[in-house]
Structure 1
């Protein structure tokens, strides 16, 4: 191993795999050190619970085709391909009715470019108008405002560093933009208030609040801020194209690592970093768990700030206020119950609802049409019992579009529900909860898809918070959001105001994790924003291609 690199990245998670090829493209020598045996963090796939099945054990619903890296590195030519279903967000209700949303835009080429799809808008409008003319009119107004103002602002919010307090960020600028529909009060409303303010129907109120837990980790009485509100609204109303990554979420990581390898990035897995070494107020490199030192011109941490500062900088000087605040970041949101279900037939929602199109949506929820119950009791049951008595499950049978995921005659469906933070139960309690989730989902699913009976289910593999946290240390308490997406912990405040902006307490130490400004989720802007900060500090052109891809480097890496 070389004992010095221009840039060393601590952690080989999703954002490390994005920033590494950008650093290398600019001509820097780059090394990535990951303690585990795989790269990509939550962007991974693995063998499923039965032979020949590929499952996603973490991130499932991705749109990485829209990230600048997709075009910048030609990831479509490096093995990352998507299929784009027409159906998008849907919910099947306990009375047998269904709402189906269709994508308002369609991806038209392999760069990820999307164009408006009027037919999708008309179909979504008609489906909403069937139960609420007011909500259908709201949908059309939101679609118009999104196309004219909100979409571009949301993109800038994700992919630019936070502005200082007092300078409006791209979403706050919408508050003064005529026609944006985004009002000052929306900054302070809870998820429940937003649902009731936007919609009148039980259908969309229920869906908005349930989807909000998926999209932000926020329960109905949490304040998601403008970022969480807009993100959730766009998903619920299917304003962006739905997308399925062929081969699973791990295809994103494979393509990004190939892009890095082609530019000379060296990846070291199974190598734990013990400490970020500093001298004279700068980071000089890293010390590995075996005691060896690797020098670096800059150090980039892909680990959350509590890990980065409280553990890796434990021997350095850190202000007590920063240490105190990092110890008190709220993590009690986004505790997922993930599972992958192998069945012989795809769930038959059409047979239950009488609507032929029901079921071919990559984000399909099912559960009771009862917004008041969800708003007032769902979290209460989860935090007191670990499980809701009435399941409101999200499911996606990706094998309907991606036949590589399961053998012929089988399907795999990723499902999601929510549970309590890890510390609420001991090991015995979590084992009992896994059995209870299995029992309740098997009992309640046939109400929404009649064929999801025991004889149709071949196997289920479960991922509850203890398992999630054991492989993702930044998902403290087993929460996928890596620090609750409350308004007080988002944007310029994430995870604390002093360290939200990608630069850290040392001038050449940067953070590109999901724990900072842009937030959690696949394809967020943390790594791109960190790269732009680094380029500015080093006087580099962030768009220049100093080192071009060299196919020979793939062979060198394979032989290493």
Structure 2
């Protein structure tokens, strides 16, 4: 068969595809990463969608695992211009009465507890105890599991039941996040700001049963929320440079239509214009349904496996974004002594209590545009003026359904955006029409059109609930990153440990592929 020949082909140049390509290229393999778009990086996307000179991060922004991410150091991304900043005020909630609640970074535990104590001295004491009880456990047990192939459930139980900390982890792991915060804290605002860390960047909703252990992961702050200086695309560019420096290639503007299979083995891919790439190893970072139902084809798969793939559940929420180009940054109206909200990285606007999540998610699950307005928001230029040298940027992210009952997104986007901006202005009165140079929206339909990997606008490439996590992500048959097709592997966010800029799927896939090829892992022992 004629075609361009490589050792490994990787479908998709999101951060997992780039990370995988870098590791394999540095191992001496001839690698080609194939990308539908011109820009590599997937969700690591920064574009001037309002007016020239104002950079907006369209997808990934809160990078909570950079400080624990092995590829960041293994690939020496800082030598290739990746730079990160960890804002001291990690998260903040502004309340209608002008009070605010702030969580600070792990170096400022006392300040976090002081802020919490304004609402509940008991909760401040509980917070300090959780940090002391779980910090080391999360660092030594949980974080390594994010970068290792998922163990069978029985092995996880055996590993955890041998210590009091492990048994407690198993107990709260049988609860929902909402149940855990209700057990641990008494103040509704404290509970709500903890829960605010779950939907993005973790894809977890407060009522997901069996995911209560996410709460101590958030509170321990072993993962620190950070932002890429210059915009999220800077990290994509750093990965791209490492790949090229290691001898890898990227084929842009090339949409893979078919994975070529011969005698039950993957032998390459074919693009929508007939261009063929050949290799004995093919890796898809595309979601599981598109990979098998479209690119492989049902006729080449066992009917039982096809049924399981069709049963894989996509994200049950998406995001509606309003991106603002501003003359001056929003200034929140606060009571005296609560001004630190004006330097908070992650802003909670409107999710005042856990019940607010329940109300909004009830609308989302019914296909309704949430009547109650609440956002995950940020002002990137508070921390990185280079993203808008002649002004400021801000964004509002609302949790919404992909499909609207009785409406379509093009008909409602502008009106809904104006309502969102009016809500922001209620808390930050200086966000007036005169202060706004321009604004632009991004609907779930826009997300899917821009990044086809995010089917139905789902940024996590599959629901992050217990039936689709760890050894069950995306399916038990695929959990070890190998597939029923010899030579075909998976490595995207639909794999363990899931979505977000974590790079776990890319690193784990590299380890498994090199093991199968009986090649050394160059990074071990560094």
Give TM-score scaled by structure 2 length: 0.93
What is the distance in 2 between the residues matched to 1:222 and 1:85? 29
The question of whether the paired residues in 1 share the 8 Å contact of 2:312 and 2:474 is answered with: yes
**Shift in alpha-carbon separation, 1:417–1:173, aligned structure 2, 3 A:** farther
What is the distance in 2 between the residues matched to 1:59 and 1:135? 31
- SS at 2:266 equivalent: strand
How far off its partner does 1:94 sit? 2.2
What is the distance in 2 between the residues matched to 1:492 and 1:356? 45
Name which of structure 1's ranges 269-278 and 16-25 shifts more when overlaid on structure 2.
Answer: 269-278
Match of 1:133 among 117, 121, 126: 121
Q: Alpha-carbon deviations, 1:367-400, whole Å to 9, x = none?
A: 153333433x221233446333332212111111
Match of 1:301 among 270, 284, 287: 284
What is the distance in 2 between the residues matched to 1:435 and 1:538? 53
What is the distance in 1 between the residues matched to 2:63 and 2:351? 26
**Shift in alpha-carbon separation, 1:135–1:441, aligned structure 2, 3 A:** same
Show the counterpart of 1:59.
60
- SS at 2:422 equivalent: helix
- SS at 2:440 equivalent: strand
**Shift in alpha-carbon separation, 1:458–1:385, aligned structure 2, 3 A:** farther
Instruction: Tell whether 2:239 aligns with 1:250.
Output: no
Instruction: Tell whether 2:170 aligns with 1:184.
Output: yes
Name which of structure 1's ranges 506-515 and 446-455 shifts more when overlaid on structure 2.
Answer: 446-455
Match of 1:446 among 425, 432, 438: 425
The question of whether the paired residues in 2 share the 8 Å contact of 1:216 and 1:232 is answered with: no
How far off its partner does 1:465 sit? 0.4
Q: 1:138-177 residue pairs with structure 2 within 5 A? A: 138-168=126-156, 173-174=159-160, 176-177=162-163
Show the counterpart of 2:97.
95
Structure 2: 5+ residue stretches without partners: none
Show the counterpart of 2:383.
401
What is the distance in 2 between the residues matched to 1:152 and 1:436? 48
Instruction: Tell whether 2:372 aligns with 1:370.
Output: no
The question of whether the paired residues in 1 share the 8 Å contact of 2:71 and 2:503 is answered with: no
Q: 1:214-229 residue pairs with structure 2 within 5 A? A: 214-223=200-209, 225-226=210-211, 229=212
What is the distance in 2 between the residues matched to 1:315 and 1:243? 42
What is the distance in 2 between the residues matched to 1:406 and 1:160? 39
Instruction: Tell whether 2:4 aligns with 1:21.
Output: no
Show the counterpart of 2:462.
483
**In the comparison of the two structures, how many residue pairs are matched?**
522
**Shift in alpha-carbon separation, 1:213–1:330, aligned structure 2, 3 A:** same
Structure 1: 5+ residue stretches without partners: 105-116, 546-560
The question of whether the paired residues in 2 share the 8 Å contact of 1:11 and 1:301 is answered with: yes
Q: 1:462-541 residue pairs with structure 2 within 5 A? A: 462-541=441-520
Match of 2:70 among 68, 73, 82: 68
**Shift in alpha-carbon separation, 1:162–1:508, aligned structure 2, 3 A:** same
Name which of structure 1's ranges 144-153 and 532-541 shifts more when overlaid on structure 2.
Answer: 144-153
Q: Alpha-carbon deviations, 1:261-298, whole Å to 9, x = none?
A: 00111111111222111222221112222324322121
How far off its partner does 1:53 sit? 0.7
What is the distance in 2 between the residues matched to 1:124 and 1:467? 38
What is the distance in 2 between the residues matched to 1:199 and 1:437? 34
How far off its partner does 1:233 sit? 4.3
How far off its partner does 1:175 sit? 5.1
How far off its partner does 1:481 sit? 1.6
How far off its partner does 1:332 sit? 4.2
